[in-house]
Chains A and B, each alone.
Chain A
Amino acid sequence: MNFQTAVSWVMALGYFVFLIWIGIVASKKIKNFEGYIVAGRNIGFWVFTILVIASCMSGMTILGSSGLGFISGWPSIWEQVFVPLSCALTIFLFGTKLHRISSKTGYLTLQDYLAHRFDSPRLMRGLSGFAVFAVSLIYLVGQYTAVGITLQRVLHMDYSYAVIIGAVIVTFYVFLGGLYAVSWTSLVQGIILIVGVLIVAPVIIMKAGGLTHINQTMAAIDPNMIKAAYPQVHPPYAGYAFLTPVYIVSFALLLSLGLASAPHVINNVLAARKNSYFKWSPVAAFVIYVVVFYLIKIVGFAARTMVVDGVVKLPEGVANPQDFCFIVAVEHAFGPLIWTFFGMMVLAAVMSTTDRLLLTIGSSFAWDVYRNLLNPKATDESVTRVSRIVVFVSALISIVLALNPPKLLAWLIWMGIGVMLSVFVVPILAGLYWKGANRAGAVWSMTLGLIASFIFGYLGKFVLKLPFHFSFIPFIIAIVVMFVASKIGKPTSEKIIQETETGMFF
């Protein structure tokens, strides 16, 4: 073991011990199931804001996003706008109202709201619970794979051991400390990521010759790489030129609304201590995330320039070499020893989503399936126990899958976000803001949205290339079905409409 690897191990072990310590401290604050899954509704402003950002930040945030910038240039910058926008939309569009209602009704999960609003305690809860479980599990496998790749690179260890070590650490503190542990670790991980990117990105951009040189280099590769979108031709003239104006519109819906409705993101709004947080938290989350995310993307452009200039080389013999461009750029700009520290930053981004997903799966099963569908008389202690068991079991399943990642993992993750857009967005938005939305509209919209997303996801991948993201059509279908079925079905009672404060407020 050389000096650099030894330093990496010391830093990583210190970081892991710190995370475990947070889990142990957090576990002492948990008095009941509410404490475990919504942190007793007692999360402060900045912890809440960073928690929402950290839940949106995934393995994609640094590695995938800079990699997309590397191959596609400026047309891919819209990802940097839509993902931060999803944080803001989660908070102000969904969260403001959900938090107000939940402070009276005591909702613990999004499914509680859907079951209440659409007067469907079993069908709606079961349907949405199934979708949450399936989508989160797919997403979780992707995150564990990213944890493994990052640890492998940072600690120079075997991928299998890297997956297992990373998974054990995350599972341990989620198992013990629930949302308290997730939110506190997210704060630490978020700060590491934000400060890290603010330090490394400007140095890398300067080392690449400055922004003007970077843009001139990309323009020499393909003049469209420094445009806001690729020309609207279909099929695109090159594999990297898929971000055409039409595709970007579907991308906007997918990322800003689909991710905003993701269960592991939206459930955070139930944990905020005060409704007044929803006043400034949307703009705070958006501005912090957009600045960090823009810098990450520009690092991808800078890495492309460094490769063209012959300063660095991407690894050979790996599946997606562009996804290593951020790592390569940091190593070049700061040297391998400093990279170790920033490796923790990448790890922090990945772990902050992994822990929230794990808790979402545990709480969805324990509360929505076990407590509300299977055993309504279950005590608080037994629900918490079931939640912890599910956290443990789903971690085990995900580890096994991540050790041999499915070949179509990246597609499955995009499929997962597409399913969220097609299944959750319409019932939540219509439920919150349209008094005419009812059980028939929600159930049929969700069911047909789910079926259509599988059909068009398959068609878009294996049969015909669509000019937009596949989720665009299922989303439109879900809207139309919600409207038509609600007009035909029995209206929701006035009592429920009032209890759930349904209607426009802005």
Chain B
Amino acid sequence: MENGFFGLSAGTFFAVIGVPVLITALLFYWGITFDSRFPETVEKKQKSAGGNGRTK
């Protein structure tokens, strides 16, 4: 498969594409777990949106 990936070997192709994709996935994971790390940020958002702060 010397020319199978736009003229790059499989190893090179997956290294140069895989590393940024892996970093993107890790940063995405940071995003989806953010609220559990900083619960007070969610509380503030709910209060400012008229959620818990108003009904209590």
Q: Which residues of A contact B (CB under 8 A)?
A: 74, 77-78, 80-81, 84-85, 88, 92, 96, 100, 210-216, 219, 226-228, 275-276, 278-280, 282-283, 286-287, 290, 294, 505-506
In-complex Cβ contact of B23 among A85, A213, A227 (8 A): A85
Known A-B contacts A212-B6, A215-B6; the reply to A279 vs B31 at CB < 8 A is yes
In-complex Cβ contact of A279 among B12, B23, B35 (8 A): B35
Cα A85 to Cα B27 with chains together (Å):
10
Say whether B1 faces chain A, with CB atoms less than 8 Å apart.
Answer: no
Q: Which residues of B contact A (CB under 8 A)?
A: 3, 6-9, 11-12, 15-16, 19-20, 23-24, 27-28, 30-31, 33-35, 37-38, 41, 45
Known A-B contacts A74-B16, A279-B34; the reply to A211 vs B6 at CB < 8 A is yes
Which of B7, B12, B31, B41 is most buried by chain A, counting CB atoms within 10 A of its CB?
B7
Q: Could you say which residues of chain A place their CB within 8 Å of the CB of B28?
A: 283
A228 adjacent to B11 (CB under 8 Å) = yes
Query: Which residue of B is nearest A100, CB measured?
Result: B38
Query: Which residue of B is nearest A505, CB measured?
Result: B37
> Considering the complex of A and B, which 7 residue pairs feature the smallest CB-CB distances, nearest first?
A215-B7, A283-B27, A279-B34, A211-B6, A228-B15, A212-B7, A282-B27
Which of B11, B15, B27 is most buried by chain A, counting CB atoms within 10 A of its CB?
B27
Cα A210 to Cα B3 with chains together (Å):
13
Q: Could you say which residues of chain B place their CB within 8 Å of the CB of A214?
A: 7
**Smallest distance from the beta carbon of A299 to chain B beta carbons, Å?**
15
A290 adjacent to B7 (CB under 8 Å) = no
Q: Can you list 16 contacts pairing A with B, beta carbon distance less than 8 Å?
A: A81-B20, A92-B27, A211-B7, A212-B6, A212-B7, A213-B7, A216-B3, A219-B7, A227-B9, A275-B41, A276-B41, A279-B41, A282-B31, A286-B24, A290-B20, A506-B33
Which of A216, A282, A505 is most buried by chain B, counting CB atoms within 10 A of its CB?
A282
A283 adjacent to B12 (CB under 8 Å) = no
A226 adjacent to B20 (CB under 8 Å) = no
B8 adjacent to A282 (CB under 8 Å) = no
Known A-B contacts A286-B23, A286-B27, A290-B20; the reply to A226 vs B37 at CB < 8 A is no
B30 adjacent to A283 (CB under 8 Å) = yes
Q: Could you say which residues of chain B place their CB within 8 Å of the CB of A275?
A: 38, 41
Cα A77 to Cα B8 with chains together (Å):
13
Cα A20 to Cα B22 with chains together (Å):
41
**Smallest distance from the beta carbon of A86 to chain B beta carbons, Å?**
12
A276 adjacent to B31 (CB under 8 Å) = no
B12 adjacent to A74 (CB under 8 Å) = yes
Q: Could you say which residues of chain A place their CB within 8 Å of the CB of B8?
A: 74, 215, 226
Known A-B contacts A74-B8, A74-B12, A212-B6; the reply to A506 vs B37 at CB < 8 A is yes
